[in-house]
Structure 1
């Protein structure tokens, strides 16, 4: 699948073929620029000496060593230690509940509501992140169980530019950024007396 979330060819190629990389990128997508977050899985794989990520291998990593791996310059995230813990927790959850297969989270979901529930159960995935990821799966990867758009909420709307689910290249990235800036301005104005 051709995705343009990292805006780097090698990192985007990994995201397009690796469900685990896509989940890890989404997990990392907080408090840093989106491209940095979605480049993270490629950086982690490369530092581990692989061209893909393996949930079992990551879950089995020594916590301090894995945190050091994410902290190497350039760091994978602004908070590499806490994100290393979260990535390991996500991978352990996938091992425990889905035999280490990230795509099993969505592969046989009967409805958008069921898929949303599965996503919100993932460590590090709150309701909003789960809805955005559900929209990403539906819009960019053809994962479309009945009711997926409704379960994704506003993020599932056709033609919107609200989140990573709507990014297909540099132009749509700018539209999503403009939308997010407008939402921040509106929230700030609402707080002002």
Structure 2
């Protein structure tokens, strides 16, 4: 499903996310697969995990990582993910094609992120940003999660905007 998005300035960014946004301008798809884009638009947890995985792998692979995980688990229920046996979770995470090339660390971070989402945001990443707070507050919240430093957290604005979770065209 094609969506209408007002483009926002991302001139301060570099890397794969920029490539994805450029593709969106030209082809109407971020990941290269409209169905994958739709699945990331439908699931705020997938969008957040995609940003988590955007490290040392092609951005499109990173953002579709949560979709591979969801296909294997049958869900992206953060409560269930947080409660899973780590070895079992890591094994699912590593199945080919792996969710991420750094299976140990990213599986660990995924479970930690899931646990924080359950504890602080009722298991729903949308609760990080859906209360109308400004982007600075959202970035501060994101930086508290494992695997999200200042640089990665600064990309959340573009992820939310281009995957349709929050409109930043007026900011």
Q: Does TM, scored on the shorter chain, surpass 0.5?
A: yes
Contact kept in structure 1, 2:30 and 2:37, CA below 8 Å: yes
Tell me by how many angstroms 1:42 deviates.
1.0
Tell me by how many angstroms 1:140 deviates.
4.6
Q: Which has the larger radius of gyration?
A: 1
SS of 2:100's partner is coil
Tell me by how many angstroms 1:40 deviates.
0.7
1:27-66 aligned at under 5 Å gives the runs: 27-48=52-73, 50=74, 52-66=75-89
CA distance in 2, matches of 1:75, 1:140: 23
Counterpart of 1:20 in structure 2 is: 45
Asked if 1:97 corresponds to 2:147, the answer is no
Contact kept in structure 2, 1:32 and 1:78, CA below 8 Å: yes
TM-score by length of 2: 0.76
Counterpart among 98, 105, 118 of residue 82 in structure 1: 105
Asked if 1:106 corresponds to 2:129, the answer is yes
Aligned CA-pair RMSD = 2.2
SS of 1:141's partner is coil
Tell me by how many angstroms 1:55 deviates.
0.8
Structure that is richer in helix per residue = 1
Tell me by how many angstroms 1:7 deviates.
2.0
Distance 1:138 1:42, change over 3 A: closer
The one of the two structures with greater contact order (alpha-carbon pairs below 8 A, sep at least 6) is 2
TM-score by length of 1: 0.68
Distance 1:102 1:68, change over 3 A: same
Tell me by how many angstroms 1:5 deviates.
3.3
Question: 5+ residue gaps in structure 1?
Answer: 150-193
Tell me by how many angstroms 1:86 deviates.
0.6
Question: 5+ residue gaps in structure 2?
Answer: 4-23
Counterpart of 2:12 in structure 1 is: none
